[in-house]
Amino acid sequence: MSQSIERLKVLSSGIFSLILTLGIARFAYTPLLPIMQEQAGLGISEGGWVASINYAGYLCGAVIASLVSNLIIKDRLYRIGLIIAVVTTAGMGLTENIWLWAMLRFLAGLSSAAGLLLGSGLILNWLIRHGHRSELGIHFSGLGLGIAFCALSVELMSRYFDWSQQWFLLTLMGLLFLFPAWKWLPSPDNSTLTNSGQLMSDSPPGHTFMRLFMAAYFCAGVGYVISATFIVAIIEQLPGLEGKGAWNFMVLGLAAAPACIIWDLVARRVGYFNALITAYLMQALGICLPALEPSLMLSLSSAVLFGGTFIGIVSLVLTMAGRYYPTRPAKMMGKITIFYGIAQILAPALTGILTEQTGSYSDALYAGAVIMVLGSLLMLKLKALNAQES
């Protein structure tokens, strides 16, 4: 098999794994949330808590990814995560018990970490080992495609099926993605040499850099999760935009699909830190747009800005982390994602409580935008620190 075909299959395995473990196992909950609130009696604050528990599972997965160094074990955990993604998606349609939903969302969070962190680490290791450019933009397009796929699927299925039947149909679709995600990713090589015989050595950053990096990524987690979890419910609540939430989410996914490839090109031209500062500020604008005025144009602009930046931030940050640890890419990925995960646990629950008290998502959206601006300032400080250490 030629190197180009093998590279395409490996990257495709990552795309399909992200469609399954994040697009379906994680993000199907977002367009289905208002439907479950209407048909299954799920309350607004309960919906926020269930989302937070999903992120608790993701956080636990990030901790595991940061502690496990052996690539063979990571590969096994990655494949277990693919199976869990399918099983938990099916389980969501089998019950109306809030505690069982919470348990299933926790396990789905573990599978999301397997796809995003372990899968990304294994693929980045393979790319570096085989002499390819160490970028994850193509791989991360799977997340945007997964979001768009779920949004479109829910929009079409909602006309004919209830909330539980939609979870079952998504499970069947997930089985189709499971095969290439499993089959096309080769077993990892544990050696410290590339295929050309070059030594792969880790070069971890300093403690101050790591602390600031984690804080900046925490800000990204807060900004991301508020919109990612509630965007459909937010749009559905706006006057004149009823019925537009799922379509808005689909636009978000379509904007996210090519975003990582674009941000890779931007980073090559202006550097990773300048690219991240720009993405943070653009996302801050995208987050607060729906709160300014109930306009379809503003809501779609928000979807494009948010979808075009949030996954770009994740891709750029995780690629940087993986480059510091080429022999164990998921190690630093997992460590910084712990803080991203903490943000994802706290923010949905607080958003649900705040929205229930005020009757509007606006305050939560403005808070998310402010925190993203703070994150951009931290990235600016990291850029200066990196220049000093170079």
Ordered by start, the domain boundaries in the chain are: 8-187+203-389
Looking at residue 204, what DSSP letter applies? P
- For 237-274, the three-class secondary structure string (H helix, E strand, C coil) is HCCCCCCCHHHHHHHHHHHHCCHHHHHHHHHHHHCHHH
* Helix (H) and strand (E) counts in the chain: 15, 0
* Structure tokens belonging to residue 293: 């005025």
Dihedral sign of CA atoms 361, 367, 368, 373 in order: positive
Cα 273-110-118 angle, rounded to 5 deg? 50
Q: Rounded CA gap, 247 and 72, in Å?
A: 41
- Whether the CB-CB separation of 348 and 226 falls below 8 Å is answered with yes
- In angstroms, the Cα distances linking 38 to 34, 44, 103, 123, 165 are 6, 11, 21, 40, 15
Q: Which residues on adjacent β-strands are paired with residue 193?
A: 199
Supply the Cα-derived Rg of the chain in whole angstroms: 20
Q: Rounded CA gap, 287 and 229, in Å?
A: 12
- Whether the CB-CB separation of 271 and 72 falls below 8 Å is answered with no
Closest CA to 319 of 145, 130, 120: 120
Instruction: Note down pLDDT in tens along the chain; length 390 residues.
Output: 577 788 889 999 999 999 999 999 988 998 888 889 889 888 877 887 887 788 889 889 888 888 887 889 999 999 999 999 999 999 999 988 999 999 999 999 999 999 988 998 888 888 878 777 766 778 888 888 888 888 889 889 988 999 999 999 999 999 999 999 999 998 876 665 555 556 556 666 778 888 999 999 999 998 887 777 677 777 777 777 677 777 777 788 788 888 888 998 999 899 999 999 999 999 999 888 877 877 778 888 888 998 899 889 988 988 888 777 766 666 677 788 888 878 877 877 777 777 777 777 778 788 889 999 999 999 999 998 887 765
Specify the residue for token string 């164990």: 328
* Structure tokens belonging to residue 294: 């109930």
- Whether the CB-CB separation of 232 and 245 falls below 8 Å is answered with yes
351-387, pLDDT tens digit by residue? 777 777 777 777 878 888 999 999 999 999 999 888 7
Closest CA to 45 of 362, 361, 348, 344: 348
Closest CA to 124 of 115, 136, 116: 136
- Whether the CB-CB separation of 14 and 123 falls below 8 Å is answered with yes
Looking at residue 59, what DSSP letter applies? H
Q: What's the pLDDT at 192? A: 59
Q: What's the pLDDT at 201? A: 63
Cα 331-225-180 angle, rounded to 5 deg? 55
Q: What's the pLDDT at 87? A: 97
Looking at residue 184, what DSSP letter applies? S
Specify the residue for token string 């729906």: 290
178-233, pLDDT tens digit by residue? 999 999 998 876 665 555 556 556 666 778 888 999 999 999 998 887 777 677 77
Q: Which residues on adjacent β-strands are paired with residue 199?
A: 193
Closest CA to 8 of 194, 157, 182, 138: 138
Specify the residue for token string 């208002």: 34
Q: What's the pLDDT at 329? A: 63
Q: Rounded CA gap, 266 and 260, in Å?
A: 10
Q: Rounded CA gap, 205 and 389, in Å?
A: 9
CATH number at 8-187+203-389: 1.20.1250.20
Helix axis angle, 119-129 relative to 3-18, nearest 10°?
A: 170
Q: What's the pLDDT at 311? A: 85
